[in-house]
Structure 1
Amino acid sequence: MKIKSLLLGLLMLVGFQIKVQAQSEDEGIKACINNYLDGVMQGDTARLNRAFHPTALLRSVNTNTGALQDLSVRKFVATTPAGGIQTRGGSTKLVSYSYIGVSALATVELRFGDFKYVDLLSMLKFGDNWKIVSRVFSRADLDATVKGTGAAPSTGAPAASKPPVVKKSSANVKPKADDGW
């Protein structure tokens, strides 16, 4: 009886720790996103600097020239209006986020009077802290909506019971170290 109680208690403790870990990841990601959104909203450069990795890139396409346009974090933070976008009637909104392992994605909106920016934020976890490493953004009309589901469409076919046989070649050799591919 004591062994059953001990095992039950141990399982409950492990389950609680797993749930706490998942909550802390959500909270960490949301903290990073909120640092960004509140920093933009209030013009708080310290919060913006906490949100971004120092080498993050901010990218878009120049709609006049069609050229790729890069902006450094330093320049973005420096050009954030004093008092933030709230002084211009702006608002912010978290649309969605997802994560796995040490990577996360978020979609946010920065709304202004007659247009909005939709930002796709890529984040990575450094130690215990999530940081934005890339902001890809687009200017859009206020009534424009983000499209897509984020999940691959189902083909309706049942999952195969065995993976297909792959011939061994030098092209299929896995690297011995995790090189990111």
Structure 2
Amino acid sequence: MYTENIKTIEQVITNYFEGIFYGEADKLDACFTETAIIYGDINGVPYQKSKEEYVNGVRNRQSPNELKETFNMKIVGIDVLGNTAMVKVHLPMLGYNYYDYLSLIKFGDYWKIVNKIFCHVA
């Protein structure tokens, strides 16, 4: 069961990465619950958006792929406890060095991101 959960979570994170990198907003949207909130710190400036605001931002900007960036996103670690998980990811893109902590919950057979906190690390 643990290995199956890890593989399913890795697929959600792959979709998350691809949604962000290629500007595939619908794919990104499907990774989150409807009520997910995104919090962050970009150069000391607080950031807070609903999932809908966040996805629309991705939808309306040039993607890293369109800007000819190299895909360097990766999973740093996954911690699963029962039907909850915490995933740390690294997303160097758009001139930033982002690290995200993604909280996921299992709903039946599906994992969804319920919260994202992130920081740009210089």
What is the TM-score of this pair, normalised by structure 1? 0.59
Residue number among 62, 82, 93 corresponding to 2:74 in the alignment:
93
- Corresponding residue for 1:129? 110
- For the residues of structure 1 that align with 2:64 and 2:86, how far apart are their CA atoms? 23
Which is greater in Rg? 1
- Corresponding residue for 2:9? 29
Given that 2:64 and 2:94 are in contact with CA atoms closer than 8 Å, whether structure 1 keeps it comes out as no
DSSP-derived class of the 1:95 partner: strand
Given that 1:106 and 1:120 are in contact with CA atoms closer than 8 Å, whether structure 2 keeps it comes out as yes
Count, aligned residues:
118
* 2:55 is aligned with 1:77: yes
- For the residues of structure 2 that align with 1:71 and 1:38, how far apart are their CA atoms? 20
- For the residues of structure 1 that align with 2:56 and 2:27, how far apart are their CA atoms? 13
Change (3 A) 1:70 1:101: same
Give the residue type in structure 1 aligned to 2:50.
S
Identity value in percent: 26
- For the residues of structure 2 that align with 1:26 and 1:113, how far apart are their CA atoms? 28
Change (3 A) 1:115 1:45: closer
Of structures 1 and 2, the one scoring higher in RCO (CA 8 A, sep 6+) is 2
Given that 1:39 and 1:84 are in contact with CA atoms closer than 8 Å, whether structure 2 keeps it comes out as no
Structure 1 consecutive aligned stretches of length 4 or more whose deviation exceeds 2 Å: 81-84, 112-115
Per-residue CA distance 1:129-175 (angstroms, 9 max, x = gap): 0000111000112xxxxxxxxxxxxxxxxxxxxxxxxxxxxxxxxxx
- Corresponding residue for 2:37? 57
What is the TM-score of this pair, normalised by structure 2? 0.85
More strand by share: 2
The root-mean-square deviation of aligned C-alpha atoms, in Å, is 1.9
More helix by share: 1
**Stretches of structure 1 lacking an aligned partner (at least 5 in a row):** 1-20, 142-181
Give the residue type in structure 2 aligned to 1:87.
E
- Corresponding residue for 1:107? 88
Give the residue type in structure 2 aligned to 1:50.
A
